[in-house]
Amino acid sequence: MTTPRHYITTTIPYVNARPHLGFALELVQADTLARHRRQRGDDVRLLSGTDDNSLKNVLAAEAAGVDVRTLVDRNADAFAALRDPLALSLDDFIRTSSDPRHRAGVERLWRRCAAAGDLYRKTYEGLYCVGCEQFYTPEELDDGRCAEHGTAPQRVAEENWFFRLSRHADRLRELITGGALRIEPAARRNEVLALIDGGLHDFSVSRSHTRARGWGIPVPDDPDQVVYVWWDALGNYVTSLGYGTDDPAYERWWAAGDRRVHLVGKGVVRFHAVYWPAMLLSAGLPLPTDILVHDYLTVGGRKISKSGSGTTVDPVALTAAYGTDAVRWWLLRDVPRVGDADFTEERLIARADADFAGGLGNLVHRIVTMVHRYRAGAVPVLGADRFAVTPLLDVCRAVPGRIDAALGDFDFRRAVDAAWDIVEEANRCIDATRPWELARAERQGNTDAAERLDAVLAALVTACRVLGDELRPFVPGAAERIARQVSPVGGALPEAAPLFGRLREQR
């Protein structure tokens, strides 16, 4: 039986500024999915990277008074450096301006679409938002401004290459409605279908060399034009696999992979769920199987951005102050599947203190303390499901499947809630069985009480071990601490010690 292969990707952000917490959300979500599938025995490749070839990056360099290469390298390094602070299990990281794999793949993709008759040149005039790197019609603007950035687009007129997007509308709709191209949540799928039903227009896929300031990948056989940044960037999902260099990784992970999963923010759904699949159809390549869309993080109701008054949150500084587990936990437990989430440090602290120090930490400490007090640290053998421990063991058995189902639905909050049911059921078990009373009865010679106590302690330690295992994809550091605390050394559990400090007391 062949092991399932999952290729999981994040978007690649512009590097006009340093990373913010909103992109950290996507990284942590993707990492959680990757760790989970690896834990279940699947083969996984997790990719992230940076979108270096953007006019936004050029303008940011001009504003900073540095050359484009200097700014791009500096900020791209900051994105790559998120690996350790966020505990990311990345298998690959691509930079579109410097990775030799990328240009060759972009050129091959371009030539395949050209050979299919889907590229043509024409003169065009339109309203262009540099922030989105996209042309808009007046009807798509909000009172003359880009709804995403709140800025008035520039009027641009030039001759560019265009892609025949309209040719692929019917096939795209068929693939989405039939489930071959899965878009979650349903509201985003409906948004894409409405976009298709409203009529797809061919879009510009190049920029003049002059307007691009010479930055980017030249159009094959037309050096006066530069490949449009979105065409360039979207290609990274296959160029990173060596699509342009005949690397066998392309065949393994894309052409013959079981799941090709893109995690994207709601602001770039059009590009990933319409433009990119159409490009692949034109080139005769397989499409992604899943496009999983998250909403935004906000500060004071305003979208977090890499730069902007009061809306920038540095994920590296946040993990330095409160720890990787606290940051990952808030992103996975408090951010809903649908809808924006407003971030404050107070909310992060409150969640970590309640769940880590007061929930997980307190539960594990109580259980290990009882095992030492009543059984000298030796964990009893888990016997028959009786003595009022069956409900706890039933929850433990059900949780892996519930987590599988929740993550299959791209619902991290529901997945974490499933694991948290073990904490709540373990506490109920302690309250119902009252191990301290069973220990007192045992000392008085009650053999039935001794058997009951063994069963209860064994079930409680089992619950902690399941927690330590099932939480690894979400908070690998915290899960490892739990696992060590309930793993015998020399026949006995380590002495009970606090697993998590209270962040409020550390401020």
Q: Are residues 377 and 285 in the same domain?
A: no
CB atoms within 10 A of CB 496: 18
| Residue 317 in domain | no
Q: Once rounded to an integer, what is the mean pLDDT over residues 315-328? A: 97
pLDDT of residue 312: 86
Say if CB 232 and CB 192 are below 8 A apart. Answer: no
| Residue 329 in domain | no
* Confidence bin at 341 (pLDDT 50/70/90): very high
pLDDT of residue 298: 95
Q: Are residues 20 and 157 in the same domain?
A: yes
| Tokens at 459, concatenated | 């079930």
Q: What is the pLDDT of residues 435-484, one digit of tens each?
A: 999 999 999 999 999 999 999 999 999 999 999 999 999 999 999 999 99
Say if CB 295 and CB 266 are below 8 A apart. Answer: yes
Q: Greater confidence, 207 or 92?
A: 92
Say if CB 239 and CB 106 are below 8 A apart. Answer: yes
Q: Are residues 495 and 433 in the same domain?
A: yes
Q: Are residues 434 and 350 in the same domain?
A: yes
Tell me the pTM: 0.93
Residue 186 above 70 pLDDT?
yes
What is each CA distance from 180 to 30, 69, 177, 192, 299, in whole angstroms? 21, 40, 8, 14, 36
Q: Which of 264, 294, 324 is the last residue of a domain?
A: 294
CA distance 229 to 133: 7
What is the DSSP annotation of 327-385? HHHHHHHTS-SSS-EE--HHHHHHHHIIIIIIIIIHHHHHHHHHHHHHHTTPPPP--SS
Number of domains in the chain: 2
Q: Once rounded to an integer, what is the mean pLDDT over residues 333-350? A: 96
Q: What is the pLDDT of residues 45-59, one digit of tens each?
A: 999 999 999 888 999
CA distance 225 to 215: 10
What is the DSSP annotation of 295-337? --EEETTEE--SSSTT----HHHHHHHH-HHHHHHHHHHTS-S
Going by C-alpha positions, the residue among 263, 293, 319, 345 that lies closest to residue 475 is 319
DSSP assigned state of 505: H
Q: Are residues 278 and 214 in the same domain?
A: yes
Say if CB 364 and CB 499 are below 8 A apart. Answer: yes
> 324-333 and 315-322 helices cross at what angle (nearest 10)?
110
| Residue 416 in domain | yes
CA distance 478 to 471: 8
Domain extent, residue 143, equals 5-294
Q: Are residues 356 and 268 in the same domain?
A: no
| Residue 400 in domain | yes
| Residue 352 in domain | yes
pLDDT of residue 150: 66
pLDDT cut 90: percent of the chain above it: 84
Q: Are residues 411 and 271 in the same domain?
A: no
Q: Which of 232, 263, 294 is the last residue of a domain?
A: 294
Q: At which residue do the structure tokens 């060590």 appear?
A: 484
Q: Are residues 359 and 282 in the same domain?
A: no
Residue 308 above 60 pLDDT?
no
Interacting residues of 339 by C-beta distance below 8 A, sequence separation 6+: 295
Say if CB 71 and CB 55 are below 8 A apart. Answer: no
Q: How many CA atoms lie within 13 A of 156 on its CB side?
A: 22
Q: Which of 294, 316, 335 is the last residue of a domain?
A: 294
Q: Are residues 285 and 433 in the same domain?
A: no
| Residue 306 in domain | no
CA distance 291 to 263: 6
CA distance 203 to 463: 55
Q: What is the pLDDT of residues 223-260, one digit of tens each?
A: 999 999 999 999 999 999 999 998 999 999 999 999 99
Beta bridge partners of 208: 225
Residue 125 above 90 pLDDT?
no
CA distance 67 to 65: 7
Q: Are residues 371 and 493 in the same domain?
A: yes
DSSP assigned state of 393: H
Residue 231: what residue type? W
| Tokens at 139, concatenated | 């009807």
Q: What is the pLDDT of residues 64-116, one digit of tens each?
A: 999 999 999 999 999 999 999 999 999 999 999 999 999 999 999 999 999 99
CA distance 197 to 193: 6
Q: What is the pLDDT of residues 8-27, one digit of tens each?
A: 999 999 999 999 999 999 99
Q: Are residues 142 and 230 in the same domain?
A: yes
| Residue 412 in domain | yes
Q: Once rounded to an integer, what is the mean pLDDT over residues 403-423? A: 98
| Residue 319 in domain | no
pLDDT of residue 55: 87
Q: Going by DSSP bridges, is the β-strand pair 119-129/290-294 parallel, antiparallel, or unpaired?
A: unpaired
Give, rounded to a whole angstrom, the gap between the first and last alpha carbons of the chain.
52
Q: What is the pLDDT of residues 253-301, one digit of tens each?
A: 999 999 999 999 999 999 999 999 999 999 999 999 999 999 999 999 9
Q: Phi and psi for 388 in degrees, rounded to 5?
A: 70, 20
Strand ranges inside 188-301, DSSP E: 203-204, 206-208, 218-219, 222-227, 259-265, 290-294, 297-299
Residue 153 above 90 pLDDT?
no
Q: Greater confidence, 461 or 126?
A: 461
Q: Are residues 281 and 360 in the same domain?
A: no
CATH number of the domain that residue 42 is part of: 3.40.50.620
CATH number of the domain that residue 353 is part of: 1.10.730.10
Q: At which residue do the structure tokens 């050979």 appear?
A: 115
Angle in degrees, CA 113, 294, 185, rounded to 5:
85
Helix and strand totals (H; E) in the chain: 21, 16
pLDDT of residue 385: 53
Q: Greater confidence, 248 or 507?
A: 248
* Confidence bin at 131 (pLDDT 50/70/90): low
